[in-house]
Structure 1
């Protein structure tokens, strides 16, 4: 059934004869009354309409119509449900009450409005509320619409009294509900497609805070809370209007429209406002629930204390335990000592934060606000104690997050680090990233704290973790911008010139190891030498290795694995050897493994492809142990085949046909002399064998048998299997679902990538058959793929191909032409 707030007047007229539909439509389409005025006006308009329905046919005595929930609060969004209670005192005839209910409910349904309704006496309403916490929460916002006002007022008084009397029991239940919902829906202030209502920090939590306040046990911090709630409601209104649906999920494809409806610059501005609002609600929730716990604990302890004091009225003072200069623990929180003077002690915020994180305790709201109001700015450069306290805070591990958020909620972080403002609540439009930029930086420091025993300068590692993406708030390459900012921040914090240089290098090259290890040929001496030149010293290399792992672990589960860690470790070992004075080995000196040699010999003897499948076991690898996360199940596929054109595209196409997703892939040639064989003049075979090392996983179902893969590969290589047609038929049979529009592919020539080959780098949306298409495009361009390094990160493929023409690197002009040709194929 079409709802009344669709965008055409003709459809609204189909909703029924009532003028309510037309008035509602005019109200929702008006530009001048958005936000709270429009929500209030919509509630008033609905009140008037329901009043007419209630009184139009005559209503029995002792009956009232009550709005509950969001409608009771007078906050009707365009697609909000109408939550209504028809309350009666039991004196009216049951038939009359039922007829009145029908007279109200059916017109609402006829207009296509969602309705949550009930008919109860006050006693029944209270009984249901006592059994169902959600019903009780809705009744806390009960508002009289029409009918017997005294009946409604009596119910409100009774429900509020019941809530306050049962608060010691119901509030823990409410907190448990909030925690369960947060576990299911996630944290609103970090989600790319958040649920504005159900996620932690959303509208449900804001409503829960109102319920806590109604209990009189505790109250939420009010600064900024009403504005945060209003902004979330405004976004939901715009979401309802742009989608025409009763949805609370802010999907990616709708964010630009919602931003435009609200008059915002773009979707990032919208998300940043949503995140800031959610953080305000989340922080208020944390503080409020801690206060509820404290009050309930004190109530349970007080009778025992009175018994110990002989039944007197004395009260015990909570014990205060010193933690640091001017900082004490009291009742499970970190507070300021009575003698503390924030106005005279500019290091106090960092000292208190470090002490709280080290103790694993929250900073009290009162302490943070007192410091924010009174503390003086730190001198430049910072005194040594301030720098040490910052490092201590960053090195405390997981408790750092909560303490950092408490400082940030009251503006202390941006006062200490002004550059933080540009990354605060900044979204990252990349499915690989779990967090916003600022939270990712803190998470990286937390991860780095687990690796401090691996480095000689843990302080530099922790600060580099905090600053490595600080340039994301500026245009251009964030690593280049971040290097400049890191130099300034490090000098301001008080590091000496040498340490400032190291920190700037770490920020500038924080992606160097992972990108080189997964996208470049580590057997090429030029690759290792380039990294060594960029890093400069063994100490910096040690720090960069740990920072790389911490950064990846803090990004998300798709960014780090034992396999990636082993590649980075191998690169670090080679670079370390160069920095120690040893020259990197050339590719011709790298021997294949025993298994690769066996397969290469067999491929040479049979003249055809040979492959081996090796299943991976579940559990963390030796490099990924710090994460404690199991490796995804998959298969390592090793293929040896006599060197010939079309191997890469053939293998990739066969894997795509068998619905095997390629996670990583490497291709390199091995000379026959390298495996103890030599081709004779009459052998008819090429002088090398191609070795392909793949890491694959079945998209669904079981893995194919090795014999079937080999059979199809033989046919693909001899041309009897038309892979392109088979893949096209499958795509036609299973059309892609509508989703977010991926950015176009980008193919570039990596500058100074190798002395032996030209490096063509491809970045594209991962899709079945992508690698097959790339291989065919390179073959069509007339180049030879000397080696390939393929990786899939989330939904993105980042592949590097070392290609030659006539056995040498391509000229600059030809290399650009090949890159353009590949990009055109992928775009087509």
Structure 2
């Protein structure tokens, strides 16, 4: 073959590879296989040219390993190749003739050059090399040598199968712990996460070492693997970059590349597939080197503990008594054991749809399971894998694997509800009715599987579901109230002035009783912690606790006037205001500024805070009532989120002092900072939409309450506060909440005469000014 002919063959093979890469008519394994075959031809042509250019070089074989060896090449996958030879001569010149064209083409290459003996010696001690050889595939070169490499790789694995199996099990656990669950987290690692592509690979490698998978499990594993691999292909096609983490901002594009109906449907399919992979993997690895668990013993009526697993007794008949499902599940959670496969299959085979009214005592058994806390989650997952929860609760089916693609939620709807119930089980000492707490936690978002407002839908569902489960009318009403008001406490605590009588009266009327207040308080904690790390923190916890204490006083019969004490200004602040001089005080994450009051001071302070990159959690402002012959003093308190690197407060204080005296060009400095500011990555499912301003009438007795929602940006609080000052408003109180890339700011304002804003024309100008300031 002449150089020209070889080059022509390489070019043709490359074009065929490009065509395979661009073919969107197929996906998943078929796409990967076709791309691998096309890549084989191109690399074989490169190898042939290398041989032609080095005719005296020793015999060698080019072997594909890893994913490429499996014939599963995703668009941005590494091309893993090993050049194997049996010579003492250097093969670097031959290898370079193959490697460099691959690099020049912009592809990522995993490469090695080894003798046959060196490669097999490495495989004896290195798990990655050993597993790579299990899927090794000769691409070009000496056929006998290629066959020998594959055969030796399999022998090496089977000879050391127990060692590899244990090492593989350890590696699986380590990887899953670091990467999290593919099925439940907002941005899953499709390859390395628990239930991901690598879990399937590990099971198939373990099969080569004697692990037994049933035909049913292998079929399910292959089906789900195709879903995950298709998602990875779609991700690579959509982003045109390497990576296995399906980030929120890429999910819509990946869904479109996969031909999915929507991103939600795309993510739901991934979650469902990953749940099955994870369950099959956990069950299979649980059988590895399992010892005997002693003599079988009965741990509950009809439930036996056998070899570390829970099994139904022979005479237990779930077809007659469906509560056996809950009985064995509770026993498994209590012992932190799995439900045996025989019993799960038996339940799936004979358990009927539950009757229109649950058997007597069934609700108590469900409560008992939920009170086992986080130990119950794996058991619930096992039941759900067999569709058993939906037989008990048909309303559960639309919630299964349903994604929540927003900034707060890290779990699918079903897993969020299990996590909330598990968290609630740890808070039972806070309430008089632990049963209603865990049930309310389990059902607070049950309406999310259906069209319409999820709270209203959930309330209607519980109206029917409560009596069916055997709850009394009074208990059903309480859970309905928990569903209706499950966001009441956090929303009010984070967005309202807790010293305002209207705020406390409003919450007290919604809650109605001390028992419901306690349940909502515990549910708020359980729900927030189940939502994600950004949904709960010490500041929010403190505000919710303060709100609960105030409302508790009122629902207990106390006067609302006794529950509206103000915490700001406190004695320290009043003393500083009495001096008549400006002051800046820093205390941890609290920034207190005292000043001679004038329009726009609050906005200047907010501007300085933004200049130094501090996130505002909440802010409060207070102004003296004007008195003849006396300087009017004001004070503002900012609670900021402390960055991981800490805060150098000296320059912040210096700029604040300049700003208070009108000696800092805040506007221009913010513009400069915005130009050089690298926006932090935030989790947001979609654009928050156009900015909007809302007046909440009746939310306060002595101020007008304005809520502003918009996309966060540098200096946004400064601009809003400045706009409010320009239209003659005095900010009495402010709260700031950031959810992903959306901010929700609430301002209690009065005009400079101390009156509420009622004039429609003035309101229209306020809205105009604020929305213009947001831009």
Normalised to the residue count of structure 1, the TM-score between the two structures is: 0.85
Partner of 2:725: 779
Partner of 1:326: 302
Cα 1:819–1:28 change in 2 (3 A) is farther
**Alpha-carbon contact 1:646-1:776 (below 8 Å) kept:** yes
Using the TM superposition, give the Cα deviation of residue 759 of structure 1 relative to its aligned residue in structure 2, in angstroms. Answer: 1.2
How many angstroms apart in 1 are the aligned matches of 2:337 and 2:715? 52
Partner of 1:413: 389
Q: CA RMSD in A?
A: 3.0
**Alpha-carbon contact 2:228-2:270 (below 8 Å) kept:** yes
- 1:398 is aligned to 2:374: yes
How many angstroms apart in 1 are the aligned matches of 2:596 and 2:199? 64
How many angstroms apart in 1 are the aligned matches of 2:230 and 2:411? 24
Using the TM superposition, give the Cα deviation of residue 705 of structure 1 relative to its aligned residue in structure 2, in angstroms. Answer: 4.8
Match of 1:243 among 229, 239, 243: 239
Using the TM superposition, give the Cα deviation of residue 462 of structure 1 relative to its aligned residue in structure 2, in angstroms. Answer: 0.2
Using the TM superposition, give the Cα deviation of residue 204 of structure 1 relative to its aligned residue in structure 2, in angstroms. Answer: 1.5
Using the TM superposition, give the Cα deviation of residue 136 of structure 1 relative to its aligned residue in structure 2, in angstroms. Answer: 0.4
**Alpha-carbon contact 2:384-2:390 (below 8 Å) kept:** yes
Using the TM superposition, give the Cα deviation of residue 712 of structure 1 relative to its aligned residue in structure 2, in angstroms. Answer: 4.2
Cα 1:229–1:819 change in 2 (3 A) is farther
Q: 1:245-394 residue pairs with structure 2 within 5 A? A: 245-294=241-290, 297=291, 319-394=295-370
- 1:44 is aligned to 2:44: no
Bigger mean CA offset, 645-654 vs 145-154: 145-154
- 1:135 is aligned to 2:129: yes
Cα 1:228–1:512 change in 2 (3 A) is same
Partner of 2:195: 201
Cα 1:257–1:793 change in 2 (3 A) is closer
Cα 1:566–1:40 change in 2 (3 A) is closer
**Alpha-carbon contact 1:749-1:815 (below 8 Å) kept:** no
Partner of 2:570: 596
Match of 1:613 among 586, 590, 599: 586
Deviation per CA, 1:292-347: give whole Å up to 9, x if none: 141xx46xxxxxxxxxxxxxxxxxx9521212122121222222222222322211
Deviation per CA, 1:140-190: give whole Å up to 9, x if none: 112344455444444433332332232222222112222222233222223
Match of 2:220 among 220, 224, 233: 224
How many angstroms apart in 1 are the aligned matches of 2:46 and 2:746? 70
How many angstroms apart in 1 are the aligned matches of 2:111 and 2:566? 76
Deviation per CA, 1:575-630: give whole Å up to 9, x if none: 2222222230179x73657x823432332332x33343222xxxxxxxxxxxxxxx
Unaligned runs of 5+ in 1: 1-13, 299-316, 616-634, 673-678
Q: SS at the partner of 1:384?
A: coil
How many angstroms apart in 2 are the aligned matches of 1:474 and 1:149? 59
Q: 1:332-731 residue pairs with structure 2 within 5 A? A: 332-585=308-561, 590=565, 596-606=570-580, 608-615=581-588, 635-669=589-623, 681=628, 683-686=629-632, 689-699=633-643, 703-705=647-649, 712-731=655-674
Cα 1:814–1:201 change in 2 (3 A) is farther
Cα 1:736–1:347 change in 2 (3 A) is closer
How many angstroms apart in 1 are the aligned matches of 2:528 and 2:322? 34
Partner of 2:4: none
How many angstroms apart in 1 are the aligned matches of 2:653 and 2:30? 69
Q: SS at the partner of 2:339?
A: coil
Partner of 2:150: 156
How many angstroms apart in 1 are the aligned matches of 2:532 and 2:738? 14
How many angstroms apart in 1 are the aligned matches of 2:678 and 2:152? 58
How many angstroms apart in 1 are the aligned matches of 2:94 and 2:636? 77
Using the TM superposition, give the Cα deviation of residue 382 of structure 1 relative to its aligned residue in structure 2, in angstroms. Answer: 1.1
**Alpha-carbon contact 1:321-1:329 (below 8 Å) kept:** yes
Cα 1:338–1:670 change in 2 (3 A) is farther
Using the TM superposition, give the Cα deviation of residue 395 of structure 1 relative to its aligned residue in structure 2, in angstroms. Answer: 0.9
Using the TM superposition, give the Cα deviation of residue 371 of structure 1 relative to its aligned residue in structure 2, in angstroms. Answer: 0.7
How many angstroms apart in 2 are the aligned matches of 1:583 and 1:36? 69
How many angstroms apart in 2 are the aligned matches of 1:694 and 1:747? 22
Unaligned runs of 5+ in 2: 1-6
Q: 1:90-129 residue pairs with structure 2 within 5 A? A: 90=86, 94=89, 101=95, 104-129=98-123
Using the TM superposition, give the Cα deviation of residue 478 of structure 1 relative to its aligned residue in structure 2, in angstroms. Answer: 2.4
**Alpha-carbon contact 2:757-2:763 (below 8 Å) kept:** no
Cα 1:422–1:87 change in 2 (3 A) is same
**Alpha-carbon contact 1:786-1:804 (below 8 Å) kept:** yes
**Alpha-carbon contact 1:749-1:819 (below 8 Å) kept:** no
Using the TM superposition, give the Cα deviation of residue 283 of structure 1 relative to its aligned residue in structure 2, in angstroms. Answer: 1.4
Partner of 1:313: none
Partner of 2:19: 26
**Alpha-carbon contact 1:783-1:804 (below 8 Å) kept:** yes
How many angstroms apart in 2 are the aligned matches of 1:579 and 1:737? 43
Cα 1:734–1:546 change in 2 (3 A) is closer
How many angstroms apart in 2 are the aligned matches of 1:380 and 1:565? 41
| Count of matched residue pairs | 759
